[in-house]
């Protein structure tokens, strides 16, 4: 008993110290090309073992030069094999090699191979990326399952990884708690009817689970269920207790849109902050987020970003400027004054079309916030403006070449107003409860992650910044 009490009094960190971690035994340590090519001191005594795919083959009389890429960086490593290799070592084949480091006459690092294994040859001439020529994005997109071997796409995926980590780091440093909001949900947060229905495929199961008064196709959850269009309402629930929360989940929208800025499945970064009542506090936080994360990426992913973009294509001067906020009313005035430069005329009751958004970013020469849209064109959860009840306290953050990147608002926390505006009260009784039990005003936003990457990397089509894009008529791979 005494012993047991002693153990209980020990802290978890004491316990963790006692855990003996067995050494990890690896047969061979693989050197990653990113580290190898960055190393300054070339020691010919050091043996290295590498994995990778062949990107180029040059056969000489007695030796063969292979360029290898292992997906860790854009640069290839030249390896020198001291004999003639079989033609199975072709472009696209996967190999493993051991050797000593050396330098080429041009001073670049190369590997003098002592052992080489062919893991798998590559079928020619079918392999789509045999030639070194630049491929058009639409060509590369025909081979979604092989795209990771296309260098610009691999670089995009590495930047995507770094970007999602930078956003997580930003929220962690700001004291936010990451919440996994549900993918299956019975609410259509935006009430725009763009939901995908989710139900079991098995007719037997549906029959088995059927209850009185529930349509058979809804019998799994006793109600219609969808793939989420936004985690916002669940975030609001978590926020009123955890203070600052965010989610970085997929969102699904059933639109018949083949536009270069829309996907049926995309990743949305959403945040919600309790006790935040001023729209300008929210826009200031997001300005810090976008600038902070972008600066970090320009530093940490500089190799990949400069490989993918040329400096004359992208203007990062906005990082040093204050981001302007204009009202929706001011935006309309600007657009009307420039009617001759815009294809589609503005209709104040319809909000901003893509070409209006793009024009506004050109007009202010960078990203901008457009605030206080009319209540009638925005969802039920946005707070009615105190001074002008026809408006809501919301904003869209617009960026060049992409248009709307972030949408956010102060949330309506008056129960009576929400009860009046809520489209499907019976399904969202729980949401109204949030306003009944110690509610506070909250503010929040949602950012399309792929649109951020499009803007950062100047990518024309959103399908080229997500590994497996889903858009109308395309869900094969
Ligand atoms: O403006 P949206 O629809 O806002 C919401 O869903 C809010 N409930 C978010 C919140 O406040 N928590 O979507 C937010 C962002 C848009 O600004 C856009 O960048 C992106 O999500 N987005 C899409 N991205 C790719 N494909 C689509 N079909 C998108 N629809 C919206
Ligand atoms: Mg929006």
Instruction: Dump pLDDT digits (tens) for 59-110.
Output: 998 899 999 999 999 999 999 999 889 999 999 999 999 999 999 988 899 9
The per-residue b/e assignment along 12-43, b for 16 or more CB within 10 angstroms, e otherwise, is eeeeeeeeeeeeeeeeeeebbbeebeeeeeee
Residue 145 pLDDT > 60, yes or no? yes
Q: Tell me which residue of 56, 212, 224, 214 sits closest to 133, measured CA to CA.
A: 56
Q: Which residues line ligand 1 (CB under 6 A)?
A: 189-190, 230, 232, 253, 262-263, 266, 268, 270, 404-408, 444-448, 450-451
| CA 453 / ligand 1 centre spacing (Å) | 14
Residue 10 pLDDT > 80, yes or no? no
Q: Which atom of ligand 1 lies closest to the CA of 447?
A: 15
Distance CA 288, CA 166 (A): 13
Q: Tell me which residue of 476, 475, 469 sits closest to 259, measured CA to CA.
A: 469
> How far is residue 118 CA from its own chain's centroid?
35
| CA 172 / ligand 1 centre spacing (Å) | 22
Q: Which amino acid residue places its CA nearest to atom 22 of ligand 1?
A: 448
Distance CA 253, CA 274 (A): 27
Measured CA distances, 433 to 34, 70, 245, 268 (Å): 53, 53, 19, 26
411 secondary structure, DSSP code: B
Q: Which atom of ligand 1 lies closest to the CA of 231?
A: 12
| CA 58 / ligand 2 centre spacing (Å) | 53
pLDDT band at 40 (very low <50, low <70, confident <90, very high): confident
Residue 235 pLDDT > 70, yes or no? yes
Strand ranges (DSSP E) for 154-285? 177-178, 184-185, 196-197, 226-227, 244-252, 265-274
Q: pTM for the whole thing?
A: 0.94
pLDDT band at 21 (very low <50, low <70, confident <90, very high): low
Q: Which atom of ligand 1 lies closest to the CA of 264?
A: 28
Q: Which atom of ligand 1 lies closest to the CA of 232?
A: 12
Q: What rounded mean pLDDT belongs to the chain? A: 93
Distance CA 154, CA 135 (A): 14
Hey, how many other C-beta atoms are within 10 angstroms of the C-beta on 197? 11
Could you tell me the sign of the dihedral formed by the alpha carbons of 283, 287, 288, 294, in that order?
A: positive
Residue 24 pLDDT > 70, yes or no? no
């Amino acid at each position: 008993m005494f012993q047991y009490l002693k153990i209980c009094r020990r802290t978890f960190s004491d316990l963790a110290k006692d855990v003996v971690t067995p050494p990890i035994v690896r047969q061979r340590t693989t050197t990653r090309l990113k580290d190898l090519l960055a190393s300054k001191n070339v020691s010919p005594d050091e043996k290295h073992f590498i994995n990778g795919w062949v990107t180029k083959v040059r056969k000489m009389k007695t030796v063969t030069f292979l360029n290898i890429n292992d997906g860790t960086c854009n640069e290839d490593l030249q390896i020198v094999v001291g004999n003639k290799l079989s033609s199975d070592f072709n472009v696209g084949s996967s190999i493993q090699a051991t050797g000593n480091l050396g330098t080429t006459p041009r001073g670049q690092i190369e590997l003098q191979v002592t052992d080489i294994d062919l893991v798998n040859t590559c079928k020619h001439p079918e392999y789509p990326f045999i030639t070194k020529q630049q491929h058009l994005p639409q060509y590369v997109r025909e081979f979604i399952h092989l795209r990771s071997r296309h260098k610009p796409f691999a670089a995009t995926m590495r930047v995507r990884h770094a970007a999602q980590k930078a956003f997580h780091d930003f929220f962690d440093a700001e004291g936010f708690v990451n919440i996994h909001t549900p993918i299956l949900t019975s609410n259509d947060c935006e009430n725009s009817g763009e939901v995908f229905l989710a139900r079991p495929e098995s007719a037997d199961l549906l029959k088995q689970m059927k209850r009185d008064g529930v349509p058979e196709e809804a019998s799994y959850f006793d109600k219609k269920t969808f793939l989420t269009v936004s985690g916002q309402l669940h975030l609001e629930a978590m926020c009123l207790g955890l203070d600052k929360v965010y989610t970085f989940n997929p969102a699904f929208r059933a639109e018949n849109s083949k536009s270069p800025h829309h996907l049926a499945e995309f990743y949305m970064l959403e945040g919600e902050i309790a006790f935040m009542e001023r729209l300008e506090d929210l826009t200031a936080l997001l300005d810090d987020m976008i600038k902070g994360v972008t600066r970090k990426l320009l530093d940490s992913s500089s190799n990949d970003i400069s490989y993918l973009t040329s400096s004359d294509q992208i203007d990062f001067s906005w990082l040093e400027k204050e981001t302007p906020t204009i009202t929706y009313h001011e935006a309309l005035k600007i657009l009307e004054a420039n009617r001759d430069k815009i294809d589609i005329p503005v209709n104040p009751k319809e909000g901003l079309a893509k070409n209006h958004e793009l024009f506004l970013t050109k007009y202010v020469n960078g990203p901008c916030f457009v605030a206080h849209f009319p209540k009638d064109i925005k969802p039920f959860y946005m707070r009615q403006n105190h001074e002008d009840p026809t408006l809501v306290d919301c904003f869209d953050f617009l960026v060049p070449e992409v248009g709307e990147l972030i949408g956010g608002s102060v949330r309506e926390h008056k129960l009576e107003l929400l009860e009046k505006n809520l489209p499907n009260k019976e399904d969202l009784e729980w949401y109204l409860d949030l306003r009944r039990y110690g509610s506070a005003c909250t503010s929040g936003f949602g950012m399309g992650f792929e649109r951020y990457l499009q803007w950062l990397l100047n990518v024309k089509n959103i399908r080229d910044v997500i590994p497996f894009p889903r858009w109308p008529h395309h869900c094969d791979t």
